[in-house]
Structure 1
Amino acid sequence: MKHIIWDWNGTLFHDIDAVVGATNEVFKPYGVAAFDNDGFRAAYTRPIWVAYERILGRTLREGEWEVLDQSFHDHYHRLMLSCALAEEAVDCLRTWAESGRTQSLLSMWAHERLVLKAAELGIAEYFARIDGLSDGGAPGGGKAEHMVAHIESLDVRPSEILVIGDSIDDAHAAQHVGAQPVLYAGGMTSHADLAASGFPVVDSLSKAFDFAG
């Protein structure tokens, strides 16, 4: 492989506690019992509104998704301040860079926030490109179309790209463009669900390099 496309939330950025905490705040007014990390992982899926429908046990009403999503991000942006990069993240980024190969960052988080956070954490220099969700983009949806645009901006063939993420949607996005997916079990999706998908699963970021060739 010549290039790695990293996911952000739940992969390079270990923010499961902030995500679960924000989700609990969102659903507290609905009388939903608070999730622990494993309980959240059991409910989590993408698109996110499907996960919210699982949690509520019903279809979302017109306009309800937008309200819930705004509430989630209001809480998340407060709680994420205590989160840090995943274990091995910096070592993996440095090791790959020192190998002379390239890497980029693709996230469904807001682009401006993503760029600022990567710079704040001192890792922006490792990426040939950073792409988050631009203004006007629909939050919580699938990643495939964004993966297409991201790869089109890179001078690398999809067959030479390794995509490392923590959700099955990351793997589907990689598969959609012909890249190799590897799923990291330290994020939002349970190890059991990742394994059941049939895609390669690793328990540490460094183990993902086993699939880099």
Structure 2
Amino acid sequence: MTPRTTTAVRIVWDWNGTVRDDLGDHVAALNATLPALGGTPVSVDTYRAQHRVPIRSFYDHLLGRTISDAEWQSNDAAFLTVLDQRPVRLRSGVRQLMMGLRARGVGQSLLSLAPHERLMREVRQVGIAGLMERIDGRIGPSAASKAPALAAHLQALDPGIDPSRVVVIGDSVDDAVAARAIGAFPVLHTGGLHSPTRLATADAPLVDSLQEAVEVGLAAIGANWKARS
């Protein structure tokens, strides 16, 4: 039997740096943990220019050496402890934006490479969990790419999803790479963990607000669908 194809439009949101407004929190957590590894604090601009995944490789890059497993485990725990001390802040207007999309029948889900239990706690804390059809965070070690997680996320939502009807809204080059790997349309927010200069290398639309990200993404999907009809 041929699997059915679900043609409904949906949005997959990224969390850190996109829906959650936490660039400053991540820079603060990084700078709080670097000295114990022999490093020195970095500026926001340096963070945005050099941030990479998995995060362990980001530390290796900044320190100019490969950290040990013990160093990484201790540092990762310290990093998350600092983040836990920061309030979870959503980008301005995003809850209302999500509610409007739900009213229009646009499906929404959230995918992050942050630890799953931590992600669930934070999303529930700010009251948007009920607006998402699915929320997936990382289970297991840090990944070098979001692409496999995105493919699994859509499969878990509905095996019949047409990826060309999916908008991925994120703030990193990897968000765009992951979207294209599965045939979805990426839109990148310029106020997150990667600088606009880096994002420009992804050859994806760059926007300064999540409202604009939604408008650009849905318009692109509509135009693509019309061209295919």
Tell me the TM-score normalised to structure 1 length: 0.90
DSSP-derived class of the 1:125 partner: helix
CA contact (8 A) 1:185 1:201 kept: yes
Please report how far the alpha carbon of residue 113 of structure 1 lies from its aligned counterpart in structure 2 after TM superposition.
Answer: 2.1
Task: Name the counterpart of 2:149.
Answer: 146
CA contact (8 A) 2:177 2:202 kept: no
DSSP-derived class of the 1:13 partner: coil
Q: Superposed, which structure 2 residues align to 1:17-96 within 5 Å?
A: 17-78=24-85, 80-81=86-87, 83-96=88-101
1:102 aligns with 2:107: yes
Task: Name the counterpart of 1:130.
Answer: 135
Aligned partner letter, 2:151 = V
Moved more, 9-18 or 113-122: 113-122
Please report how far the alpha carbon of residue 4 of structure 1 lies from its aligned counterpart in structure 2 after TM superposition.
Answer: 0.2
CA contact (8 A) 1:6 1:106 kept: yes
For residues 127 and 69 of structure 2, the distance between their equivalents in structure 1, rounded to whole angstroms, comes to 41
Please report how far the alpha carbon of residue 180 of structure 1 lies from its aligned counterpart in structure 2 after TM superposition.
Answer: 0.7
Note closer, same or farther for the CA distance 1:163–1:144 as it changes in structure 2 (3 Å cut): same
DSSP-derived class of the 1:104 partner: strand
Please report how far the alpha carbon of residue 49 of structure 1 lies from its aligned counterpart in structure 2 after TM superposition.
Answer: 2.2
Task: Name the counterpart of 1:208.
Answer: 213
CA contact (8 A) 1:49 1:140 kept: no
Task: Name the counterpart of 2:116.
Answer: 111
DSSP-derived class of the 1:14 partner: coil
Task: Name the counterpart of 2:170.
Answer: 165
For residues 71 and 176 of structure 1, the distance between their equivalents in structure 2, rounded to whole angstroms, comes to 33
Could you tell me which runs of 5 or more consecutive residues in structure 2 were left unpaired when the two chains were aligned.
1-7, 220-229
Please report how far the alpha carbon of residue 62 of structure 1 lies from its aligned counterpart in structure 2 after TM superposition.
Answer: 4.8
For residues 183 and 141 of structure 2, the distance between their equivalents in structure 1, rounded to whole angstroms, comes to 24
CA contact (8 A) 1:143 1:169 kept: yes
For residues 101 and 197 of structure 1, the distance between their equivalents in structure 2, rounded to whole angstroms, comes to 26
Note closer, same or farther for the CA distance 1:113–1:30 as it changes in structure 2 (3 Å cut): closer
Please report how far the alpha carbon of residue 63 of structure 1 lies from its aligned counterpart in structure 2 after TM superposition.
Answer: 4.2
Aligned partner letter, 1:33 = T
Tell me the TM-score normalised to structure 2 length: 0.84
Please report how far the alpha carbon of residue 31 of structure 1 lies from its aligned counterpart in structure 2 after TM superposition.
Answer: 4.5
DSSP-derived class of the 1:103 partner: strand
1:8 aligns with 2:15: yes
For residues 113 and 34 of structure 1, the distance between their equivalents in structure 2, rounded to whole angstroms, comes to 25
For residues 116 and 69 of structure 2, the distance between their equivalents in structure 1, rounded to whole angstroms, comes to 27
DSSP-derived class of the 2:194 partner: coil
Could you tell me which runs of 5 or more consecutive residues in structure 1 were left unpaired when the two chains were aligned.
none
For residues 105 and 69 of structure 2, the distance between their equivalents in structure 1, rounded to whole angstroms, comes to 50
For residues 91 and 192 of structure 1, the distance between their equivalents in structure 2, rounded to whole angstroms, comes to 29
Q: Which has the larger Rg?
A: 2
